[in-house]
Structure 1
């Protein structure tokens, strides 16, 4: 179907051979590859973005997250990020960088154009209903990432908790938590970053998660990264939903994190049992709080020979009621706020009408890591192994090449 046919049949619908959904690292990498292959943006392909400006998910990060403290931003294809100010907020630096790339390639990103739903027409075209009008395409590269689908796990009594609740998505500044008792939930890098930042404004943080911390003393170098990517690719090619980032990478155990462990800030306190109106009930070491919680096997080994004064920082000190009751192995502490560092799910609801999920819960992709098995012409980037910035760049290239082959 030609663009004219599409307009005649659907009214205001615009047709492109290839549409990229999302203008983050993965989407821009795909767009750059199509551009280098001779495709003209606005004629042969289009980029749709749900944001009001460039930057992808980075534009929403909190101001205190400087570029130097971020996990890292991988260069976009043939457009290096040269000598950025690492003390500036990552949200500003990356938004400017992505915007400059868009201008450099004259991508003409269509925004805000949040995609509401994607369906497949009888003639094989994909129909996209968006906030900026409707579109059709022969092939789709989906690069919507995870930012729009924050995950908060359910715990008994959470609905009764009356304090403030924040998530990585809504977090803005540690000053919002000054002098409060803050429960930080999560086993990944976001939770540990929050704990380290909160140390400046409060002496009362409590770190909990659904599993013990998985500290990893390995060097997080490219060789290590490739092994992680291969492990995740094996999961998604089998149709399983991608696991959390930390379950695949672990937490970086380096001099920086060790300092906060030894200061008592990065101390795992147990597992949530339930919530009350102003309190949380935690499965900890026992009613008197006298024993040291496990901090994960790697750190436990380090603490075994630690100075007694350091060990004292790792003890639960809250007073608990309940001696002689059925909560003898739990402790209760008041909290003013909850900070959920519990991650995100992939933002794929708009693809729901296509029925892409396998019986194993994930979207099965081919060995290239981007081609969706259940829907010819759809390619996922920023999914599974390509959720990291460097993985997203490589996946964007592969998806663009695959989409070109599909539409030839």
Structure 2
């Protein structure tokens, strides 16, 4: 195939959050050079992955489960500084320390089969032909909005937690918070002291866990998510399996009644929400802290999805195309899991490329 005007590399890494940087680190470690052998694309304006978009009142001391990137610890951080600043600065320092040369802001609208064993990566700075792709695009770009009858007639404000900027925007308002994850709880606890009223709504009753989450329990939770991926189903988050950590703030929220959960309402009205039994709640704002879905639309031309809606995988490798590896997806959608997945993907790609070269010379 004629690659005139298209740059060729061995590996293209799409995304420079935790998973993408971990993969880039391990590519360098095995001897690959950035911009010669591999390239890293990131559509965000600056280092930090999804962390750079977190709300300013989420300070570093409120962050749970942040694991250091491989080869460099995060030390000396001010716990009262916004996590977006702390982790953004850390990621930026990491990129410079290891010379990862991330291309940003660069969008990747599509990845296609090149017809000669390579993958064509279309980007906003031009085309690249790669022998393998490590996809580390995470979920931030695909906030999930549940659908309820009547949403279109609600007279107040509706927003997703991805656009939450702190509690001040909710001062004096009647607020309904929808969602059972960590962000829902953290944002609800911030909003409640300034709002006129709050109502917390979740699909399932929340499970609060006392103490730390053990290694054996962690492996079991990851295994449940991995099983769905192996079956070609959309992954659930690991947090949805492990439950919510019982912090002192959460304990106070439960004792005060702020974290008294109600089941999902049936429909939205112009002035609030209604439950199947006729109960109502007036609202000025509905905040959907309902999570995210994997941002994988750019991989659609490769037809990786199974009938169940997910991408079937063995380890980090997409079964429908062994040149494509997903890191930070499904069972590796945690900071420590992303680190391990980055290393595993690089090992798999080394084996793939070596076998191709052996076949070509044999």
- TM tier relative to shorter chain: over 0.9
Match of 1:406 in 2: 352
* 2:69 paired with 1:76: yes
Aligned mate of 1:262, from 255, 266, 282: 255
Please list, as runs of the form range in 1=range in 2, the aligned pairs for 1:329-344 lying within 5 A after superposition. 329-344=277-292
The question of whether the paired residues in 1 share the 8 Å contact of 2:183 and 2:289 is answered with yes
Give the SS at the match of 2:298: helix
Return the TM-score normalized by structure 1: 0.84
Of the two, which has the highest radius of gyration? 1
For each residue in 1:7-27, what CA deviation from the matched residue of structure 2 results, as whole angstroms up to 9, or x when unmatched?
xx3443211100110000000
C-alpha contact (below 8 Å) 2:222/2:238 kept by paired residues = no
Which stretch shows the higher mean deviation, 167-176 or 222-231? 222-231
The equivalent residue for 1:353 is 301
Aligned mates of 1:246, 1:73 — CA distance in 2: 14
1:57 equivalenced with 2:50 (yes/no): yes
Q: Is the Cα–Cα contact under 8 Å of residues 12 and 134 in structure 1 kept in the other structure?
A: yes
Report the CA distance between 1:84 and its aligned residue: 1.3
Partner of 1:140: 133
CA distance in 1, matches of 2:250, 2:293: 26
Counterpart in the other structure of 1:385: 331
1:341-361, Cα deviation, whole Å (9 max, x unpaired): 000000000001111111222
Runs ≥4 residues deviating over 4 A: none
In structure 1, runs of 5+ residues without a counterpart are 1-5, 284-328
How far did residue 330 of structure 1 move? 2.2
The answer to whether the 8 A contact 1:113-1:132 is kept is: yes
Q: Please, which of 313, 316, 325 is the counterpart of residue 370 of structure 1?
A: 316
1:245 is displaced (CA, Å) by: 4.0
Native 8 Å contact 1:54 1:96 kept in 2? yes
Aligned length: 354
Given that 1:382 and 1:391 are in contact with CA atoms closer than 8 Å, whether structure 2 keeps it comes out as yes
TM-score, length-scaled by structure 2: 0.94
SS of alignment partner, residue 330 of structure 1: coil
Q: Distance in 1 between matches of 2:72 and 2:239?
A: 29
The partner residue of 2:272 within 279, 285, 292 is: 279
Q: Matches of 2:310 and 2:211 in 1, distance apart?
A: 29
Q: CA deviation at 1:218?
A: 5.8
Give the whole-Å Cα distance in 2 for the aligned partners of 1:392 and 1:238.
21
